[in-house]
Each structure stands twice: as structure tokens, then as C-alpha cells.
Amino acid sequence: MEQVKLLGFWYSPFSHIVEWALKIKGVNYEYIEEDRNNKSSLLLESNPIHKKIPVLIHNGKPICESLVIVEYIDETFEGPSILPKDPYDRALAPFWAKFLDDKVAVVVNAFLRKAEEHEKAKEEICEMLKILDNDLKDRKLFLANKFGYADMAAVMTQKADVSGGKWTRAITSGFGV
């Protein structure tokens, strides 16, 4: 019998993306809410390098980093695929996920920091949205008109208040999660 635990914060988009993946696959899991100011020994032992959530613990083995966890869930559990099957699309999905993860996190963090960095952050956001618009054109989803990995990364980003509503609408009409 599989034992799946997820360590998270209720407000973290990084925890939410892992929960989506588990729900898409229909995996039963135990959710353990962590306290940022008083991290459990389970969290500290499971992610000794970054000491961050989310951590997925599958049959006693910890996996860290939200997008790495999503890939692991996709490969490990039966159910609808999250990463595309086609090798070319499969290479593109992590490309966009990484673009969103790296670039947007940097920009969002700039807003949380000094006021003098805001103008530069605004320019970077416009530049990033142009790149996304140019790639997406009239499509609502990144790849093969099927909600998947890159879209999940985009929604995670969007939850950090960066962008419009394209992907959220796709989720509600996509998997009904």
C-alpha cells in the first residue's frame, strides 16, 4: 500500500501545484501543515538543504522542489499525464516551466523589495508578458491544447499576482480540480 505525505503551507502556490498533481492522478495523500516559524523535524530531515516546503514523502523517501515533485508524481502514479508524451513537447514543457519559475519569481521578489527596484521590475514583467503573448498567440494553453505541466507552473506564477486570467480559466474547464 502506497504511503504519500505532503508537507506544505496552506498559502503556498508551491504546495498547491503539488496538490493539483496528486489530485489529477487521484492519489490519496496525507497533508501535513508546516509552521514557517517552527519547522518540524520531519521537514528539516526531509529537506536538509533548503529546509523549505513542499516536500513529498513517498513510502518514506522525500522528494523536494515543486516542479521536480510534479514530474515524479507524473512518472510514478497512474492517471492522466501531466507532461506531454511527445518527446519534443516534453522538452518544451520544462523549458516554459523553468522560464516562469526563474523569471517571474525574480520579478515578484523585486516588488517585495526596495521601491527603487519597482520600475525595473515593471519593465521586466512587460518584457516577459510579451514573450509569453508571442508564444501563446491565440492559444489558452502552452502545449497541445491540453492543460499540463507548463500551465501548472504558469498558474503557480499567477497566484503570485503577476499576470492575467488565461490559465486559471483553463484549469476550471480542464481537469475540474
- Provide the Cα torsion 97, 102, 104, 105; round to 10°: 120
Instruction: Tell me the three cell numbers of residue 33.
Output: 501543515
Among 65, 71, 74, 151, binds ligand GSH (CB under 6 A): 65
- For the chain, helix, strand, coil in percent to 5 are 55, 10, 35
Report how far residue 93's alpha carbon sits from residue 66's, in angstroms, rounded to the nearest whole number: 15
Contacts with 19 (C-beta within 8 Å, 6 or more apart), sequence order: 6, 8, 31
Laid out side by side, the sheet with 30-33 consists of 30-33, 4-8, 55-58, 61-64
CA distance 135 to 148: 16
Cβ 144 to ligand GSH shortest distance, Å: 24
Q: Which stretch binds ligand GSH (CB under 6 A): 6-14, 22-30, 72-80, 168-176?
A: 6-14
Out of 54, 56, 99, 171, the only residue in the binding site for ligand GSH (CB under 6 A) is: 54
The residue within the footprint of ligand GSH, chosen from 2, 33, 36, 109 (CB under 6 A), is 36
Q: How far is the CB of 119 from ligand GSH (least distance, A)?
A: 25
**Which residue's entry shows cell 516588488?**
111
Q: Select from 52-60, 71-79, 119-127, 159-167 the region that touches ligand GSH (CB under 6 A).
A: 52-60
Instruction: Identify which of residues 16 and 141 has a Cβ nearer to ligand GSH in the complex.
Output: 16
Of the residues 7, 16, 22, 52, which one makes contact with ligand GSH according to CB under 6 A: 52
- Find out whether 53 and 43 touch, Cβ atoms under 8 Å: yes
Give 98 or 120: the residue with its C-beta nearer to ligand GSH: 98
CB of 66 to ligand GSH, least distance (A): 3
138 or 161: CB nearest ligand GSH: 161
- Residue 66 interacts with ligand GSH (CB under 6 A): yes or no: yes
Chain residues in the site for ligand GSH (CB under 6 A)? 9, 12, 14, 36, 51-54, 65-66
